[in-house]
Amino acid sequence: MLKKLNYSLIVGLSASALLLSACGDDLGNVNSDESTDSAETVAAEETEASGSSYSYDVNPVDYEPIEPHKDLDQEPVPVKMERIGENEVNIEMTAQITDIEIAPGIEYKTWNFNGEAPGPLLVVQEGDWINFTLHNMDPAIPHSMDFHAVHADPATQFADVKPDESGTFRFQAGSPGVFMYHCATDPVLSHIANGMHGAIIVMPKDGFPTDDEVDREFVVVQNEWYKYNDLENMMNMPPRQVVFSTKTLEYMADDEVDGYTFDGVNTNGTVTALTENDADTVLYAKPGEKVRMYINNVGPNEVSSFHVIGTIMEDVYLDGNPANHLEGMQTVMLPASGGAIVEFTLKEEGSYSFVTHQFDHVSKGAVGTIVVNESGGPEGGSMMSH
């Protein structure tokens, strides 16, 4: 699957220099995987261009798939979501096996939902009944769905769906918020860490008190990657990569559900996807705009200390619930599976990095950028300010 390779990965390029100057942390220190059965070595080195990089000597066996998945790379299947009543929604998803590049030179044969890792964004409204169907395209392993947004009996409503079969379940999304969903089949850690996770937003029936102030809305998900399907590694070692992705409703007509739509583009959890290394996936805004981010830390193991460099989060709704309203936050703590809505104003042109303030994780990829320019898009340039 992989040839023996060595590569250097520049994290955030000029964004890394910004992180160094803004917060004074050394991004060169990266925890190494000390497991005896892995040939991976992690080496940190300084670079003139960015202030930090790290490289891997990757052993192909670290990412060798299990036998039933070896020749499997299933095309992403779009989610089917349809409102069939004032408070009733049909959702159909797939459990499948898809190759995803999680860092330059590293392809991971993910276990996932609908060919994405993290899985596709779901949006429903407070009080909705969800008729949920999971089609398991995996020929070898049962999978399931655990929605943190619902009230349900896990033994019956989150039950395993056998390979090449389908299961249908019904539950109500009774509380607003930004919630995690994930496969709950044993061992749960393996299923989540191999890519079976995502975010569902339950919109409050009365909205948020700051709705009229918001100019742009993004959905950001943080996740970790470990040695492929190695439960011992997932339990006992630090993650190899910690990454951000953005999610949209691109699988829906007009990219919207019930009038809700989101800015940015749809990405997987890939190192550098949201940095200025890629002008197509970096986020954009205009000076003076108020930005809202729906964020979720799907883990599976690590805490996120979400922070936006160069601004203060004026309004924060913990777990995305309007009842949990805080103001003037510098950093928002997200436990594994925790969510929040954060709102902030970007007053000047420039490049604003968002990170988890656990800087060992920044070194492993947990950094994104919002480019602020007069056009509010790529035609306005990168506008690097540091």
Q: Name the band, by pLDDT with cuts 50, 70 and 90, for residue 386.
A: very low
And the tokens for 111?
Answer: 């276990």
Domain covering 67-206, topology: Immunoglobulin-like (2.60.40)
Which residue ranges make up the annotated binding site?
143, 148, 182-183, 191, 196, 357
The predicted model gives 141-146 an average pLDDT of 97
DSSP 224-254: EE-STT-HHHHHHS--SEEEEEE---TTSGG
- Residues comprising the chain, all counted: 386
User: 54-86 pLDDT, tens per residue?
Assistant: 444 567 678 899 999 999 999 999 999 999 999
The predicted model gives 362-371 an average pLDDT of 94
Report the SS3 class of residue 42. strand
Per residue, what are the HEC states of 147-209?
A: ECCCECCHHHHCCCECCCCEEEEEEECCCCEEEEEECCCCCHHHHHHCCCEEEEEEECCCCCC
pLDDT of residue 105: 85
Higher pLDDT, 300 or 17: 300
Nearest Cα to Cα of residue 295 among 271, 272, 323, 264:
264
- At position 126, the amino acid (one-letter code) is E
CB atoms within 10 A of CB 149: 27
Statement: residue 50 has pLDDT above 70: no
pLDDT of residue 119: 98
Statement: residue 360 has pLDDT above 80: yes
User: 194-216 pLDDT, tens per residue?
Assistant: 999 999 999 999 999 999 999 99
User: 85-115 pLDDT, tens per residue?
Assistant: 999 999 999 999 999 999 988 999 999 999 9
pLDDT of residue 32: 37
Please give the torsion angle defined by the CA atoms of residues 269, 274, 276 and 280, in that order, rounded to the nearest 10 degrees. Answer: 90
Statement: residue 1 has pLDDT above 50: no
Strand pairing category for 177-182 and 146-147:
antiparallel
How is the chain split into domains, by residue range?
A: 67-206, 212-380
CA-based R_g, the chain, Å? 20
How buried is 335 (Cβ within 10 angstroms: 0-12 exposed, 13-18 middle, 19+ buried)?
exposed
Please calculate the CA angle 192-91-224 and round it to the nearest 5 degrees: 20
Element (H, E) at 48: none
Is 67-206's fold the same as 212-380's? yes
- Look-up: residue for tokens 């990757």? 58
Q: Which residues contact 206 (CB under 8 A, 6 or more apart)?
A: 322
The CATH homologous superfamily of the domain defined by 212-380? Cupredoxins -  blue copper proteins (2.60.40.420)
User: 224-276 pLDDT, tens per residue?
Assistant: 999 999 999 999 999 999 999 999 999 998 889 999 999 999 999 999 889 86
Proportion of the chain above pLDDT 70, given as a percent? 82
The predicted model gives 25-37 an average pLDDT of 37
Higher pLDDT, 386 or 359: 359
Sign of CA dihedral 97, 100, 102, 106: positive
Proportion of the chain above pLDDT 90, given as a percent? 74
Residues 224, 242: contact at Cβ < 8 Å? yes
CA distance 62 to 198: 24
Which residue ranges make up the annotated binding site for Cu cation?
143, 148, 182-183, 191, 196, 357
